[in-house]
Structures are given as C-alpha cells and as structure tokens.
Chain A
Amino acid sequence: MPAERCQGVLERLHEWTPRTRSLFLRIADGARMPFRPGQFISLELPVGERPPLVRPYSIASDPDDPLVELCVDLVPGGIGSAYLFTLGAGDRLPLKGPFGSLTVDTPPAAESVFVAGGTGIAPIRAIVRRVLAGGGDHPVHVLHSAASEEDLLFRDELAALARAHSRCAWEPILEGAGAAPGEHPTLETLVPDRYVQGDTDRTRHFWICAVGDVVRRLREALRAAGYERRAVRYEQW
C-alpha cells in the first residue's frame, strides 16, 4: 500500500486528561487511507521554524472504524502538540500515511505480550482488537503503565475485552508520583522479572510501544534473554 497524502478533518475530540486527548479525524473528500492496525500517520503541521513540522502519530482505531483516532499528549515545550491542542471540530490537518511496521498480519502461534507506556497504548489497542477478533487460543497479555488511573487510556474497553476473552489479560500498572522507588512494579522491572527470570519459555512474541529509552532497554533485555529478534517488535516515540 503506497503512502497517501490527504486531508484529515477533525470531527470530534475526547479529553482523557487535561494533557491527553484523542483526535477523531475523517479523511476528507472521500479519499481513503488503507492502513494496518498499529501503523501511524504523519501530520504536517504549519508550525516551527521551517514548516511543515512533520510529526508522527500512531493510529489507535481499527481500519474498519469510520474515523481515524490519534492519541495526543501535550508535550512540555513541544510546538507540535501545543498546536494540536488548539484545534477544534472542523479544523483540517494535512497528513500522509500509513507508515510503520508495528503491526500484526497473522497472530503468532504463541503467547502475545503487549507492553505499552502511556499513549503508547494507541497502536497496541488497535492490534489487540484485531488479534482477539481473529480467534485462536493463545494467551494475549496487555501490560499498560501510566502515571494515573485517568492516564490508562481505553481502560474500560481493554478491561471489557479481558472479561469477554478468557485468553486475554489486561494488567494496568500505575507508575505515578507518590509511590516510593521500588514499591510498585514498573514495566522495566516487571517485564524482565516475569518474562526473563520468571521461566525459560522463549516462544513469546512482544509488541512494545512507549516514549523514551525504556523501549530500547526492554528490547535489549528480551533479545539478550533469547527471544527471537523479530519476535520483539517495538516503536519508540
């Protein structure tokens, strides 16, 4: 599928917290942008010293959903996200896409472990929905860390999916301020504890998406422990 350049029209937004919102875009003028669950699009924002400022956002929605959902964090000092937070219904956004290889074409014949930090849950949510809809009986485990309960995007939906599918588990991890260091597990302690030291099974497949170096460190820990390189997929924002 070639990348397409088109216009997105902001149809509505959902405020998860004062710093995080979902933007729901309709692709304008009847254009289509076929994508695979987990891919991202590139927004071309009219800001910065040399506009456009190109900023990628993972698609949280399914290709069959009528609108394209993006989860946006207000980044301190970030001119791109600050601009996106000024937009309202009806505003247009030039975009290109889809891009990215954090996807799933055929669910693996093994346990799937999804590891998301903050808004890194956006592509994971799309992939998990697709994996569960595809049937099968291999376990699907979703680990989502966030600063607070409110920052656990899609928490009701993921909890409902876990209730509806006995092979699916959703495990929220709160890494917010207030907890003493070491008091609660974090992605960086839990993932190696459970999937490296915890047993010798190395057949699992991982999808990791988060902001910052934690992604690289988890990837290294898992691959060094013997998981197949291509079984550890990741996207670092």
Chain B
Amino acid sequence: MVQVTASDTTSPMPKIRVTYESGEPERTVEFSPTEAPFSHDGQPGSILDVLLGHKVHLEHACGGKCACTTCHVIVKEGEENLSEMRDDEMDRLDTAPGLTMHSRLGCQAVVKGDVTIVIPKFHANS
C-alpha cells in the first residue's frame, strides 16, 4: 500500500493564484515556505502572510489574529494544500458574510502547495 504523506502534496515553491470577484486582474505569487514569515500579520506562511509579503493586498482588520473575517477567501483549487481548519477559524467563519463550503480565513490557512483563491467582493464588519 502506498501511503500518501503531507510531503507528497507539498511543493518547494508553492503558488497562490489570486482571483477577484470584483473582476480585478488576477495575480500569482510564488514563494518559498522556508522563508516565512513574510510580513507582520497572520500565521507564518498563511495566505495573508504570503500575500502581504509579496505586495498583494488582503484586508486584515484584526492584524491577522483570527478575530474578524475581513481576510475571508474562497478556495477554488488546492484546498488539500492548506493547513487544517481549527476551532478558532471555524468560530470566526461562522460570522462571515457570504460563507461557502470552501471558505477560509487568509490569516489562518497555511499554504503548503499550489492554491487558487477568490477574494470576495464585499466584507462586513465582523
């Protein structure tokens, strides 16, 4: 039996493809996880940390501390390449407008392989 381990699905230089519900042109960021953190905010190597460190804006009203939902993203591809969701993130996502089955908080989802995300158009005050 072949056992699939986490390292089999990770990549030395993962890519985050960022698309926008607003129609803004998409961006792609390639990064080396071993160089995390890239910014001051969010879990090191998280979507928020990587994007901020590569000059791609993502709202983060609470400073990436899992206290709001302004960094809400919807994962289109590569969900399996993100860290598992913990209770803190689930509790916050409960209050996110436009919640989907593929929603994550950018500040908590640590990127281990290629992902494609959508930045929702609107954020609410939660």
Residues of A bordering B, CB below 8 Å: 1-3, 39-40, 42, 48-50, 53-56, 96-101, 216, 219-220, 229, 234-237
Contacts and interface: CB of A to CB of B under 8 A. Distances in A.
B76 interface: no
A56 B107 CA distance: 14
A56 B65 contact: yes
Given A3-B124, A54-B60, A101-B95, 4 more contacts: A1-B125, A42-B61, A99-B126, A100-B62
B102 interface: no
B107 to A, nearest CB: 11
A229 B94 CA distance: 11
Interface in B89-126: 91-92, 95, 123-126
A236 B125 contact: no
Given A99-B70, A216-B88, A236-B88, A3 B63 contact: no
B67 A237 contact: yes
Nearest to A96: B61
A206 to B, nearest CB: 13
A189 B19 CA distance: 47
B67 A56 contact: yes
Contacts of B62: 40, 42, 56, 99-100
Interface string B41-74: 1000000000010010000111101111010000
Contacts of B66: 236
* Chain B interface SS verdict (over half): loop
Interface of B: 39-41, 52, 55, 60-63, 65-68, 70, 87-88, 91-92, 95, 123-126
A55 B123 contact: no
B123 A235 contact: no
Contact of B63 (A39, A56, A101, A219): A56
Nearest to A43: B63
Contact of B67 (A2, A40, A97, A98): A40
A42 B88 contact: no
Contacts of B88: 216, 236
B41 A236 contact: no
17 contacts: A1-B125, A2-B124, A3-B124, A40-B62, A40-B67, A49-B40, A54-B41, A54-B60, A97-B61, A99-B68, A100-B62, A100-B125, A100-B126, A101-B92, A219-B87, A229-B91, A237-B65
Closest 6 CB pairs of A and B: A42-B61, A56-B62, A99-B68, A3-B125, A99-B61, A101-B95
Given A48-B40, A50-B39, A54-B41, A99 B65 contact: no
A67 to B, nearest CB: 20
Given A50-B39, A50-B52, A54-B41, A99 B63 contact: no
B121 to A, nearest CB: 13
Nearest to B68: A99
Nearest to B95: A101
B125 A99 contact: yes
A2 B62 CA distance: 16
A96 B60 CA distance: 11
A177 B92 CA distance: 34
B123 to A, nearest CB: 7
A212 to B, nearest CB: 11
Contacts of B125: 1-3, 39, 97-100
